[in-house]
Amino acid sequence: MSVTLAKQPDSVSARLNKLRAGVLGANDGIVSVAATVIGVAAATDSVPIIAAAGVAALSAGAFSMATGEYISVSTQRDTEEAIVERVSRSSNGDPDGILDTLSTDLERRGVAPETARLAATDMIRHDAVGALSCIEGIDPDDLVNPWHAAWASFFSFIAGAALPVAAILLFPAAVRIPATFAMVLVALALTGFVSASLGEAQRSRAVVRTIVGGALAMAVTWGIGTLFDIRV
């Protein structure tokens, strides 16, 4: 009887997580930058000022997202490496304990005790560290990469933020704010639908939640912008 650890599902899950993170990053870019440019456009008709505010918000948001993701994922990777190191030490010092741990874990997953014992023995023979790490939900050969997360967040934020910046600058002043507002709501509906689909959640609820949140953010900043009257 030969049992090996299947890594394909983990790879698929990792790809879905990256895609989901990209969608959420784009959503953040849409909402935060749209709220900024609409707030500024409510205060002034000056295209240079609106453009400067939009580009500044896009740049600051992209670098902030990338930095935050890098720090967060680096911490996660440090934790994973510590777990793998601890597992590696234990695999060299307590073979019977490892066998019992793996057998018990397999039994909890529904494997018959005799089969679990045989499978655990084969797994230890094949890759003891990998088998034990999987109990912790970690693949030693596929640890999270902080640079991948940082770049994904950076570019997805820019992609999302580019929409409201382009809209607020391309539309005439008379329809600039309502047109941008409408385009942003459509984009938010799309990101909400995609993120819910990836997470196998209820799509309609996610779309409504995303639209309401974005609309509220834009309405608040528009209201704040109307309190100012900047003439250039």
Q: What is the mean pLDDT of the chain?
A: 80
Residues 177/38, Cβ–Cβ less than 8 Å:
yes
Indicate the pTM of the whole model: 0.73
160 has a pLDDT exceeding 60: yes
How big is the CA angle at 216 (ends 190 and 168), to the nearest 5 degrees? 65
Residues 130-143, mean pLDDT to the nearest whole number: 63
pLDDT tier at 2, thresholds 50, 70, 90:
very low
Sorted by sequence, the CB contacts under 8 Å of residue 9 that are 6+ apart come out as: none
Residue ranges in the chain assigned as alpha helix (H): 8-43, 47-93, 95-108, 113-135, 146-170, 176-198, 203-226
Least confident span in 103-107, 173-177, 184-188, 213-217: 103-107
Integer CA distances (angstroms), 197 to 13, 21, 149, 190, 193, in order:
14, 13, 21, 11, 6
Whose CA is closest to 52, among 182, 232, 191?
232
What average pLDDT score do residues 97-119 get?
75
pLDDT in tens, 16-33: 666 766 778 888 999 999
